[in-house]
Amino acid sequence: MKRRLRIDPQTNLTISSVDDRPEGGKSIATLKKTGQALQLDCDIVAAYQWPFCELVIDLNKEQLGLDLNQFDSVRLQLSSDGPEATHPVRVFLRNYNPAYSNLKSTSTFKPHEVVFEPNQNTEIVEFKLNQFMVASWWTQAHPTSLEHLGPQLNNVVAISFVTGGNVIPGKHNINLISVEFVGQWISTEKFRLSIIFLWLAIILIYLVWEWRLSRQALAEAEHLQTELERSNHALESRVDERTRALAASNSRLIETLQNLEGTRHELVQNEKNAALGALVAGVAHELNTPIGNALLVCSTISDKIKELEIISETKFTRKALKDFFTDTHHGTAILQQNLERAASLISSFKQLSADQHSEQRREFRLLDVVDETRLAMMPSIRQTPHTFNVDIDPDIVMDAYPGPLSQIFINFINNALLHAFDNMPQGHMLLNARKYESDSVEVIFSDDGNGIPAAILRRVFEPFFTTKLGKGGSGLGMHLAHTVITQIFGGRIEIHSLPGEGTSIRMVLPLIAPQVSQSLLKIGVPKDVLEDYVHFLGDKDILKVQEYSGEHSRRDVVELAFFIRALRTVWPDAQYELTPVDSYANGIEQLRASTIATLATSCWESDLLAYAEEICISDAMIQNGRSVVGIYTDQQNQHARSCHSLEDFKHLRLVSNRDWSADWNTLKQLGVLHCMDVKTWRQMVYMVSSGEVDALLAPFSTHQDMKIELDDCQLFPVIGLRIALTGSRHFASNKTVQGQGIAEVVFPELKRYLDDGSFELALHQCGFYNKITESWTILNPH
């Protein structure tokens, strides 16, 4: 007997629409009823970074939430439309928990997300509730304890339907007919446990009865023992299943924590750019006055010249000439004063912005850098009643990085304005510096503001920690300062504060910053590829390797081997370091940021062309259509294993990564109806193995039966079918001196390996070009 909860336009619930205007966007959402359906009309405008419109249904007026653990799945009957060929819908289940939620702020409700593209004929689509995963962007913005990090559906206060994550501007709409939650009155687990308990009770009664009858028939007792062993075996199987599920959850948590470091790096860069952007706005405002005055004086002088020309033709007098000279001298003095002011601002900001952008090392007077920073920050400070003073020995000269140092001072000033002087009529900031011992300088920034409580003081250097989240604080300013002082300058930083007594930040910096090697080539390699490459190479010399088959060999391992072989051949004296990168997308970002000089595994051309002005791209190592992959599924998934045609394939539930543009675009071109976006390979394998989805795309394994093994999961290809990924693969380097050197000498050597056939032979040996599958049908032949 099934338990049902149906929600439709006639349901007496609060229904509303939300758009991105509160976030600074310009998209407009309109909600209306059309017949038996709710229609959300959305005019998407690309004014906000992620424009969106949302239809929200509140599930409980009393704000206690609805426990969805009593349901197994949700059935949705809706359709969507828009200017794109595809128009996916994101469905959110928002959970309330006082441990991390605030009833006055709906953004604190934990969102559980599933993304799909509904049909236009509004067929009913059913999702298991365990398919809803916590949105990663929410956990980054709302740090919670580990016990609350995973999915929770025990107090769901709302279900909402949102336009896709990367929508283009234009008219979008979502038509919702009904939402129905479905579950059993008695869950399968409880029913099974009841049966087991009943069974054990019967056995116990039977044994007591047997004991009272003086232990009848030994054969019957053996039969009962056999039945008991079967019950225990069933229990052990269920325990194994639970253990496997727990391992999957732990794996996902580990992957999330690993990706957090990449996110932190991006946010640090954003913090720098945001501060520089604020300086641009402030200096532009400051330049407005002197330049406006200069224009006014120029106009006045021009009028005086015209007046003199008229007088010279009629009644030219000595007094008129003297008045003209007086007005002209006065005007040129004002003009010179304002132009000098503008030139001073431009010069200071030019030096400051250049330092901020390049982080170049140079010799400088500390007082000059502080004066440039103060001049740039004065527009912001003047808008407040607060003051900023400087007391620095003018003889202090440093050989270091003025850009990061200026960024630190900017962060200190912004922190004081935002935190220290909150609700204060007037505050004072002081930056002083004196030589410390013979080779260091002591810099102290202090304010007489509110001070910092001890509980907060212990965490000020933690990334993402801020008491002003959403009000101007990112939680990275002090973390950035600590990182720069300790890692770039080789110094130390400490902070002292008491509530109501202000704050003092003390830094001790060497006058000469430690040297960083500029000759070491940093080569980015995905972590798993680097691990397999180390196992594959063992104690062999890469220049002498001729055979590329084996357990740890695959396409990206072969690419890394040939890259190192080319580097050592044409650049034998080069010093290099293989640097692990967390993910494919993070590797490209590190390449653009010049954190690494090159990527030693190939990337899709479509992902590189967007940054063609910033990076160098090699010839195609794998041509378009040559990347052929299999459809991998669990051995027990008969629905996927019985797939024989493109039409069958379209109806499978696939999982992929939207960052893998070739895989994602190929699936869309094939017309796949259901494809989930998951960021890690491990999570994808677990989802297929557990039956949450039907299949994923992967290169054919070199294993005898071509299976893929990960932990205790095994996936097998759908026999007889292949898919050709759209796009070619290339190596890439940045446009630094090191990156240009790689492009000029290493890329041509890699091209030579293509021309002589050695690279393609290695791809055959590692199984990337699989002989067993050569006769299999390609669902998308070129």
pLDDT in tens, 724-749: 988 899 999 988 878 888 999 999 99
Q: State the pLDDT at residue 627.
A: 87
pLDDT above 70: residue 62: no
Task: Please determine, for residue 673, whether its predicted confidence score (pLDDT) is greater than 80.
Answer: yes
Contact 474, 460 (CB under 8 A): no
Mean pLDDT of the chain: 82
Between CA 148 and CA 153, with CA 149 as vertex, the angle to 5 degrees is 65
The region that residue 776 occupies, defined by phi over 0 for left and psi between -120 and 50 for alpha, beta otherwise, is: beta
For residue 286, name the pLDDT band (cuts at 50, 70, 90).
Answer: low
Asked if residues 163 and 42 have their Cβ atoms less than 8 Å apart, the reply is: yes
Among 33-37, 266-270, 293-297, which stretch is predicted with the lowest mean pLDDT? 266-270
Q: Are 173 and 39 in contact (CB under 8 A)?
A: yes
Overall average pLDDT of the 132-156 stretch: 86
**Res 378: pLDDT:** 86
Residue 655: CB atoms within 10 Å: 22
Buried b (16+ CB within 10 A) or exposed e, 394-428: eebebebbbbbbbbbbbbbbbbbbbbbbeeeeebe
Which pLDDT belongs to residue 660? 81
**Residue 640 contacts residue 732 (beta carbons within 8 Å):** no
Residue 265 has pLDDT above 60, yes or no: no
- Quick one: residue 733, left, alpha or beta (phi over 0 = left, psi -120 to 50 = alpha)? beta
Assign 467 to helix, strand or coil: coil
What pLDDT score was predicted for residue 262?
52
Does the pLDDT of residue 66 top 80, yes or no? yes
Query: Which of the two residues, 282 and 736, has the higher pLDDT score?
Result: 736
pLDDT of residue 357: 40
Summarize the confidence of residues 480-488 as an average pLDDT: 78
Q: What is the mean pLDDT of residues 293-305?
A: 74
Comparing 96-100, 242-246, 359-363, 653-657, the range with the smallest average pLDDT is: 242-246
Q: Could you give the CA distance from residue 728 to residue 715 in angstroms, rounded to a whole number?
A: 26
How far, in Å, CA of 291 to CA of 536, rounded? 66
CA distance 13 to 58: 6
| Alpha-helical regions (H) of 593-637 | 605-609
Q: Which residues have CB under 8 Å from 378's CB, separation 6+?
A: 282, 286, 388
Which residues on neighbouring strands pair with residue 622, listed in sequence order?
Answer: 729
Q: Which amino acid makes up residue 661?
A: S
**Token digits of residue 414:** 């912004």
List the one residue out of 335, 344, 418 whose CA is nearest residue 374. Answer: 344
pLDDT band at 271 (very low <50, low <70, confident <90, very high): low
Taking residues 239-244, what's their average pLDDT?
67
Which carries the bigger pLDDT value, residue 139 or residue 245? Answer: 139
In the prediction, which pLDDT does 112 show? 92
Global pTM value: 0.42
Long-range contacts from 532-536, C-beta under 8 angstroms, 24+ separation = 532/557, 533/557, 533/560, 533/561, 536/561
At residue 472, the pLDDT reads: 45
Highest mean predicted confidence (pLDDT) among 228-232, 235-239, 560-564:
560-564
**What is the pLDDT averaged over residues 576-605?**
85
Rounded Cα gap, residues 186 and 193, in angstroms: 11
Q: How much of the chain, in percent, has pLDDT values that exceed 70? A: 85
Question: Given pLDDT bands bounded at 50, 70 and 90, which one contains residue 260?
Answer: low
Q: How many angstroms separate the CA atoms of 754 and 414, rounded? A: 55
Instruction: Give CA angle at 139 (611, 88), nearest 5°.
Output: 60
| Average confidence (pLDDT) over 472-483 | 64
> Residue 446: pLDDT above 80?
yes
- Please tell me the total number of residues recorded for the chain in this structure: 782
Instruction: Tell me the mean pLDDT in the region 512-537.
Output: 83
Phi and psi, residue 142, nearest 5°: -130, 75
Q: What is the CA radius of gyration of the chain?
A: 34
Q: What is the pLDDT of residue 365?
A: 93
Residues 202-221, mean pLDDT to the nearest whole number = 80
Largest CA distance in the chain: 146
Looking at the predicted structure, is the pLDDT value of residue 515 above 80? no
Kindly tell me the number of DSSP H helices and DSSP E strands found in the chain. Answer: 19, 32
Residues β-bridged to residue 302:
none
pLDDT digit string, tens, across residues 114-136: 998 886 566 789 999 989 999 88
At 552 the three-state DSSP class reads: coil
